[in-house]
Amino acid sequence: KTKTPDEILQVDEIFEKEDLEWAGVVRSWLNEHVRDNIGDWYLDGTIPARELAEGLGELGVLGMHLEGYECAGSTATQYGLACRELEAVDSGLRSLVSVQGSLAMFSIHHWGSEEQKQEWLPQMAAGRAIGCFGLTEPDVGSDPAGMKTRATKDGSDWILNGAKMWITNSPVSDVMVVWAKTDEVDEKTGEKGVVRGFVVPTDTPGVETPEVQRKLSLRASITGEIVLDNVRLPESAMLPKASGLKGPLSALSEARYGIVFGVTGAARDSLEEALRYTDTRIQFDRPLSSFQISQQKLAKAFGEYSAITLTAAHIGRLKDSAAGVRPEQISLGKMVNVDTAMNIARDLRALFGGSGITSEYSPLRHAINLETVLTYEGTHEVHQLTLGRAMTGINAFAN
């Protein structure tokens, strides 16, 4: 009698019964609406973002961990388990939900005015409005403190100029949270330039959002630029409570948390697919699953999958606890879980032989997607240095 990896691990002893039931609801919805299409969307290099956002809004996953404004107010663990199911289908799908809920909606929810929250959060939770988050620029990625996008005052209005790069969903967004430096003096450095967030409807004159083409990874996701050419905004467009890098970094903590859970889904899906395939594929008159080397690969992947699942559960519990989770703990989860999930998907892909390089089977698609996940939301190296700093007390990011 065979058992699934989750049965052997006894995930029902790791997570609460009702949380796993919720994960089952998300999984069923994805099986019904997405799973059969994902390979084609990936090959086509796109995703029906608007249609999907409305479906995901109805399912209740957009901004589900936020309170009020028609958001579900779920626990961090429940949100993590939803990310796990989404990324079991494709990292691009989890990206759609991460950017909407953890980056754009969270920024407005945490740092916005009451009017901004009332205007945007209910329609974003329902998936009627799509949001994006513009921090990275063509010349500034890992070091957002060096951003060049500027917000200057003209009377009571703000004028935004600059460019953002690699922005998930910018070409299909209705609203953007854009981070720019103002002329204010930074109290810490004594220099001019304080990072502020702005809520910018994408139909504002001067905004353009060309799509990034020719991606090899995260193909079932729309990525774009944001070009801001003398974009005039009312004073009320600024997020009033965010000042300094803490604004965007707090949102990044939320989205990185979703990744810690999400990638365990990509690993689980790769393992389940490999178990199914090796059970039915016959070589030398025996199923592939009967060879010792196949079982070694499966066992190694299972061990690693178990470890990252337990890490995600631990970080979820910390986030749900009264004390909360610290940024370096999220860095630990992002660094270890993404790298491990990528290695699991890559190693298992070999078990499929030639079939493994087609869109018919998921492990290579997951592995290639995870190259992006390793890079965005803080590169693997940024998280290594964050942990290095937490352990040694020495900042090795710069001189």
Catalytic residues: 377
Q: Where are the beta strands (DSSP E) in the chain?
A: 131-134, 150-154, 157-168, 175-185, 192-201, 207-208, 223-233, 282-283, 286-287
Residue 388 in the binding site for ligand TGC (CB under 6 A)? no
Residue 79's identity, in one-letter code, is Y
Among 74, 100, 136, 289, binds ligand TGC (CB under 6 A): 136
- Minimum distance of ligand FAD from residue 83's CB (angstroms): 16
Q: Which residue from 74, 71, 223 is spatially nearest to 134, judged by alpha carbons?
A: 223
Contact string 339-358 vs ligand TGC (x = CB under 6 A): --------------------
Nearer to ligand TGC, 297 or 334 (CB): 334
Dihedral sign for Cα atoms in the order 281, 283, 288, 293: negative
37, 152, 161, 250: which one binds ligand TGC (CB under 6 A): 250
CA distance 179 to 93: 24
Q: Which is nearer to ligand TGC, 30 or 99 (CB)?
A: 99
Which is nearer to ligand TGC, 329 or 362 (by Cβ)? 329
Hunting for tokens 């993404």 — which residue is that? Answer: 338
Kindly state whether residue 204 participates in binding ligand TGC, applying the rule CB under 6 A: no
How many Å apart are CA 219 and CA 227, to the nearest integer?
22
Nearer Cβ to ligand TGC (19/137): 137
**HSE-up (13 A, CA, CB side) for residue 57:** 20
* Residue (of 77, 64, 78) closest to 106 by Cα position: 64
Q: How far apart are CA 288 and CA 352, in angstroms?
A: 9
The H-or-E segment that residue 308 falls in is: helix 292-320
Q: Is residue 249 part of the contact set for ligand TGC (CB under 6 A)? A: yes
d(CA 274, CA 298): 8
Options 6-14, 94-102, 196-204, 316-324: segment touching ligand TGC (CB under 6 A) = 94-102
Nearest one of 366, 378, 367 to 87, comparing CA atoms: 366
Hey, what amino acid is at 356?
G
In angstroms, what is the minimal distance from the CB of 231 to ligand FAD?
17
Return the residue of 253, 306, 337, 369 that touches ligand TGC, per CB under 6 A: 253
Region binding ligand TGC by CB under 6 A among candidate stretches 250-258, 280-288, 315-323, 335-343? 250-258
- Say whether residue 100 binds ligand TGC (CB under 6 A): no
Among 99, 177, 178, 267, binds ligand FAD (CB under 6 A): 99
- The single residue listed with the structure tokens 């290095």 is 388
Contacts (CB under 6 A) with ligand TGC, residues 282-321: none
Q: Which is nearer to ligand FAD, 354 or 393 (CB)?
A: 393
Q: Which of the listed partners (ligand TGC, ligand FAD, none) does 381 bind, with a CB threshold of 5 to 8 Å by partner kind?
A: ligand FAD
Residues found near ligand TGC in the complex (CB under 6 A): 95, 98-99, 135-136, 142, 144, 168, 244-246, 249-250, 252-253, 255, 327, 376-378, 382, 386, 397
